[in-house]
A and B are shown apart, each in its own frame.
Chain A
């Protein structure tokens, strides 16, 4: 299946240096890096903002979240479809990044209103939903098929660098300027604007592959028909099923701290550990995926996740266990996050690329969201160890089912 291959030698794709990553990928990586600094700054600040600055309970905002997550998945599909329909992925991505940038200025305006805060967070996430599919489609459109894993790996690496720098920036502002919210939101807004400017001024819309015959013009019907294509359908189903048995990060860290008994002050640092491994391993594992098969690496990533769960049962303890678990957890992300998109890109024709990727992303997101609800429910009934044991069994069973469902030949 070669529908995905793109001619090299176009603007945005590297022609001179065979090994170089396409410039568009690096630029989109820069956009994501700057945007992630912006959003992770706010994520790191939000707890102290709500609890200390506004005197609110955290709970009040979290409650409306379920509704918005559903809305985000719908928007993801809309973003994907629109990009294909008008043939301008960049324009839709600009709208998505722009929407998130604006929310950074809206925080001070809504103050301590739970509904207002939830609304701002929802708009922020709507922007994220809107931009993800067109951005990933652009990455895939400027990359030759043999290099897809690496391109997505480089993009995710840059994205994660931003996610690491964000909390650091927040800490620096908190210690030097104090907890006044103005500077944090303003600096976060500036980073978001810088990302937006890079996107608007430096990133170029990948040109259309060739004149598309009118019979195959993009329509809702044709986009939805992707669901019936065996490659996309099976990949989405597998992503959904594996998403359903992936424990949300926050639970992984809570269980890990409790199992290892390490100093509680390490808890807020655990996501940084995962991110560090993720960013170091994203590119090499993407390259590996190009060589041995993207689906294989994606699947192997979930076997690594099974390793994470087994470690959560606490075969040994202390810092070594925490380090091993975070290492595997980071490898899981490096082997699955960009690699799934690289795999998905090989299954869809260029003119439907964004719609196709949106379907796969949505399937995974819906799976993960449902999983966090289910696991949360499990924790209300069982002890931690029993809940993790249930997750181990569920993941193992799903891995067996998925390996029977998807043959690597369906996409490579």
Chain B
């Protein structure tokens, strides 16, 4: 056997390489043939805009109130829409590099902003004037400890103000002005005045909910452990993810800004998303599948009454629909 191999190793090598190439090409051609048609989702009061995972093309899809799904002419890894303005975080070039595209009501791209990393969160303020996003910056290697950071940027379409990072902001941590190189910001949500915002500040292994002002470029910590806030349409509550237990999984919690009372949403354990308010009573969020499949979007009553309902499977990035 060994002697035979030594004599024929060149032939064996060439044949093996040809087989590997044939096998690889066959697999890729075969998988790219399967085109999934739009499926169906649950019927809702509002409908939903989201990113489809079923056919791998990351197409933006619209779920009608009836549960009918139709594809939009947009491919994004993260999408959000409000008042006719849509933000689409998408692949831009080799690297791979990514960009934020701002799309107006008629579907034209009115602005693109280069991103420093992989799309994670996207938001549009209720007026459609302030778009914001968060990306993961990972450098060149997944094996470097501490080699990850997040970056949050925004554009005010009315004033033209644009920042690709909140690092220049003055931040008060527990009332004290601080500036550390490892400050990370993620998950921004902007209020109806187009200047007040909530977001997450992270440093070392801590995270805080912060409230700030986009015009004065100041922010302060509000409470610890609250991440990826989402302001309700009536501006009275903030939904965010929070660890259940010290190092436990995240769950979604709704904070009443007036009373300071937190309400956990049942069945949301394992969520890792910035929730979207479909209306003042309903939150939608994506949740990873435990079996390794694609994520699913759920809807949940914002007052914590009742279990979540599956809106659509093989889907992420929930957003209220285009009206």
Interface-lining segment among A189-197, A288-296, A344-352: A189-197
Residue B259 CB within 8 A of the other chain: no
Given A65-B145, A171-B95: A380 touches B138 (CB 8 Å cut-off): no
Asked if A269 and B148 sit within 8 Å, CB to CB, the answer is no
Which residues does chain A contribute within 8 Å of B294, judged by CB atoms? 53
Interchain CB contact (< 8 A) of B95 among A110, A249, A272: A272
Complex: chain A residue closest to B180, CB-CB: A380
Residue A111 CB within 8 A of the other chain: yes
Closest CB of chain A to B234's CB: distance in Å? 28
Q: Mark B82-116, 1 if CB is under 8 A from A, else 0.
A: 00000000011111111100000000000000111
Q: Mark A49-72, 1 if CB is under 8 A from B, else 0.
A: 001111111110110011001000
Q: How far is the CA of A118 from the CA of B118 in the complex (A)?
A: 20
Q: How far is the CA of A186 from the CA of B141 in the complex (A)?
A: 21
Asked if B140 and A249 sit within 8 Å, CB to CB, the answer is yes
Q: How many A-B residue pairs have C-beta atoms within 8 angstroms? Tell me.
A: 225
Interface-lining segment among B26-34, B66-74, B209-217: B26-34
Q: Mark B12-45, 1 if CB is under 8 A from A, else 0.
A: 1100110011011001100110000000000000
Which residues does chain B contribute within 8 Å of A251, judged by CB atoms? 139, 146-147
Which residues does chain B contribute within 8 Å of A253, judged by CB atoms? 139-140
Chain B residue total in the interface (Cβ 8 A): 75
Residue B309 CB within 8 A of the other chain: no
Complex: chain B residue closest to A107, CB-CB: B292
Closest CB of chain B to A397's CB: distance in Å? 22
Asked if A66 and B77 sit within 8 Å, CB to CB, the answer is no
Q: How far is the CA of A249 from the CA of B294 in the complex (A)?
A: 32
Complex: chain A residue closest to B112, CB-CB: A265
Asked if A178 and B24 sit within 8 Å, CB to CB, the answer is no
Q: How far is the CA of A188 from the CA of B99 in the complex (A)?
A: 26
Asked if B20 and A194 sit within 8 Å, CB to CB, the answer is yes
Given A193-B20, A265-B99, A383-B179: A178 touches B292 (CB 8 Å cut-off): no
Which residues does chain B contribute within 8 Å of A110, judged by CB atoms? 292
Residue A376 CB within 8 A of the other chain: yes
Residue B53 CB within 8 A of the other chain: yes
Asked if A265 and B116 sit within 8 Å, CB to CB, the answer is yes
Closest CB of chain B to A46's CB: distance in Å? 5
Q: How far is the CA of A45 from the CA of B78 in the complex (A)?
A: 16
Closest CB of chain B to A235's CB: distance in Å? 25
Residue B55 CB within 8 A of the other chain: yes
Asked if B182 and A112 sit within 8 Å, CB to CB, the answer is no
Q: What's the dominant secondary structure at chain A's contact region? A: helix
Closest CB of chain B to A68's CB: distance in Å? 8
Complex: chain B residue closest to A269, CB-CB: B95
Interchain CB contact (< 8 A) of A55 among B10, B23, B149, B288: B288
Given A56-B288, A190-B21, A265-B92: A48 touches B118 (CB 8 Å cut-off): yes
Residue A170 CB within 8 A of the other chain: yes
Complex: chain B residue closest to A43, CB-CB: B142
Asked if A201 and B12 sit within 8 Å, CB to CB, the answer is yes
Residue A381 CB within 8 A of the other chain: yes
Q: How far is the CA of A202 from the CA of B55 in the complex (A)?
A: 40
Closest CB of chain B to A392's CB: distance in Å? 15
Residue A14 CB within 8 A of the other chain: no
Residue A271 CB within 8 A of the other chain: yes
Asked if A62 and B24 sit within 8 Å, CB to CB, the answer is no
Range of interface residues on A (Cβ < 8 Å): 35 or more
Interchain CB contact (< 8 A) of B32 among A44, A48, A167, A183: A183
Which residues does chain A contribute within 8 Å of B139, judged by CB atoms? 249-251, 253-254, 267, 271
Residue A401 CB within 8 A of the other chain: no
Asked if B20 and A51 sit within 8 Å, CB to CB, the answer is no
Which residues does chain A contribute within 8 Å of B138, judged by CB atoms? 47, 58, 250
Residue A144 CB within 8 A of the other chain: no
Which residues does chain A contribute within 8 Å of B97, judged by CB atoms? 265, 268-269
Asked if B118 and A372 sit within 8 Å, CB to CB, the answer is no
Asked if B292 and A177 sit within 8 Å, CB to CB, the answer is no
Which residues does chain B contribute within 8 Å of A198, judged by CB atoms? 13, 17
Residue B137 CB within 8 A of the other chain: yes
Given A47-B136, A383-B180: A202 touches B10 (CB 8 Å cut-off): yes
Asked if A186 and B28 sit within 8 Å, CB to CB, the answer is yes
Interchain CB contact (< 8 A) of A268 among B9, B58, B117: B117
Asked if B182 and A202 sit within 8 Å, CB to CB, the answer is no
Given A112-B289, A201-B9, A202-B13: A379 touches B181 (CB 8 Å cut-off): yes
Given A178-B56, A187-B24, A272-B95: A379 touches B180 (CB 8 Å cut-off): yes
Given A44-B96, A180-B56, A202-B10: A372 touches B147 (CB 8 Å cut-off): yes
Residue A310 CB within 8 A of the other chain: no
Asked if B117 and A267 sit within 8 Å, CB to CB, the answer is yes
Residue B62 CB within 8 A of the other chain: no
Asked if B145 and A66 sit within 8 Å, CB to CB, the answer is yes
Residue B57 CB within 8 A of the other chain: yes
Interchain CB contact (< 8 A) of A51 among B27, B58, B120, B149: B120
Asked if A257 and B9 sit within 8 Å, CB to CB, the answer is no
Q: How far is the CA of A46 from the CA of B142 in the complex (A)?
A: 8
Q: Interface of B with A (CB < 8 Å)?
A: 9-10, 12-13, 16-17, 20-21, 23-24, 27-28, 31-32, 53, 55-58, 77-78, 91-99, 114-120, 136-149, 151, 153, 164-165, 167, 179-182, 203-204, 272-273, 286-295, 316
Closest 7 CB pairs of A and B: A111-B292, A201-B13, A250-B139, A265-B114, A376-B146, A180-B56, A271-B140
User: Can you list 13 pairs linking A and B with CB atoms under 8 Å apart?
Assistant: A55-B273, A65-B145, A110-B292, A112-B288, A171-B93, A249-B141, A250-B141, A257-B116, A264-B115, A265-B99, A269-B97, A372-B144, A379-B181
